[in-house]
Amino acid sequence: MAIRVLNESQIIDIIWGATLLGGGGGGSMKNGIELLEKYKKDHPGKPIKIELYETKDLDPLSYAAVTAGMGAPKAIKDVDFSVYATNAYNALCEYAEKLEPKRYIKYSLAVEMGGFNTFVPMLISLVQGMPFIDADGAGRAVPALNTLLLHINGLDTSPLAMANGNNDKITIELSNKKNAELAEEIGRHICIAFGMLSGLSGWMVRKDEIEENLPCGTVSLAEKIGKVLRNTEAKDKFSELRKIGLGCREFCKGVVTKVETITKDGFDYGKVYISDLNTPNVEWIIYFQNENLLVTRNGQPIMTVPDIICTYEYQSGIPLTNADIEEKMKVSLGALKVDQMWEKNPKMFDMWKPFLKRVGYEGERMPFKY
């Protein structure tokens, strides 16, 4: 059926799968699971279920809205983020009702794939009893608002609403509704004022805009990936993922020998060094700004964004973000082919060039290859 009800186990599968699709970013799986556990604790006895809608079943005149988190991962610990998310969502709804004509927000949509940021809009669905859409704004995780497909494929970023746990709230309205760079700059300053943690809601879109510009079916894909990671005993999860039709490959199984991270301007920049266990004297390096941007083999570039560079802990199958990876971990390093919607805008790679330049790469795109 096109509309189905997700139970708790399926939601956990989605959190696992979305973490791998996040490509090093999008929030740790641990944070997503913790947020789910906090919701259960705060709503004892309430069934854990979410209606998942395929895009073809959406009301063409109603709107979907994104709700996400912005801020420092450490600030989320021991905080009931559902309050932040709900406050931001309600602030957006208040704004939408004042528009002429009014906009009716009926659905919740993920801004990106990630262990935390895919679950936050699911949390809105749980709290509000609102349907969740089988789609998202990027098909992966991204480091900034202007690297979302929501922006790259021409959809409006403004208006946005931000709120903290005290329901201090603000709406960002830009004269150029597509100026994602300015929205990012303003949003980060507000987030700092809120104590490095804020709920963020916006990107009001309708059925036709989603189907024409955004990756569809990504929540179901994350669920399938999560089932493989959680339930398959085989250590080579990438081979198992290919069996379900996912474009992917393993680069190596290796040991993390060093992790370099610098936090600057609200981002984590760094490198992960991995020694190949099967091929002597081969070193792989992941370069990241929150998300993985580039992977090299003995200094030679192998693949760049937007295709997805990802890792999992190969004994447990647990997908890893760059906040999770530690020295001496044994990991599987691999790649996932990114959603085809990234090919719609022929200039999309231009959005990534400044981020790659910051990690020392000024070449052209190097896409996924089997």
235-358 belongs to CATH 2.40.390.10: yes
The stretch 61-73 carries a mean pLDDT of: 88
Percent of the chain whose predicted confidence (pLDDT) is above 90: 86
Instruction: Give the per-residue pLDDT at 74.
Output: 61
Q: What tokens appear for 213 in the block?
A: 């510009």
The stretch 325-350 carries a mean pLDDT of: 97
CA–CA–CA angle 231, 340, 322 (5° rounding): 50
Residue 160: phi and psi, rounded to 5, are -125, 150
Residue 61 in this model has a pLDDT that exceeds 50: yes
Q: What tokens appear for 329 in the block?
A: 């971990």
58-67, 239-248, 262-271: segment of lowest average pLDDT: 262-271
The stretch 132-138 carries a mean pLDDT of: 98
pLDDT confidence of 1, banded at 50, 70, 90? very low
Domain ranges across the chain: 3-218, 235-358
Residue 42 in this model has a pLDDT that exceeds 50: yes
173-182, 233-242, 354-363: segment of lowest average pLDDT: 233-242
Instruction: Give the per-residue pLDDT at 309.
Output: 98
74-78, 95-99, 141-145, 355-359: segment of lowest average pLDDT: 74-78
pTM recorded for the entire structure: 0.95
The stretch 249-266 carries a mean pLDDT of: 90
Q: What tokens appear for 57 in the block?
A: 């079943």
Instruction: Give the per-residue pLDDT at 266.
Output: 67
Instruction: Give the per-residue pLDDT at 221.
Output: 98
Which of these, 133, 141, 147, 179, lies nearest to 160 by C-alpha position? 179
The stretch 239-258 carries a mean pLDDT of: 97
Per-residue pLDDT of 80-119, as tens digits, reads: 788 999 999 999 999 999 999 999 999 999 999 999 999 9
Per-residue pLDDT of 197-248, as tens digits, reads: 899 999 999 999 999 999 999 999 999 999 999 998 888 899 999 999 999 9
The stretch 303-325 carries a mean pLDDT of: 96
CATH number of 3-218: 3.40.1610.10
More confident position, 320 or 72: 320
Q: What tokens appear for 360 in the block?
A: 């020392």
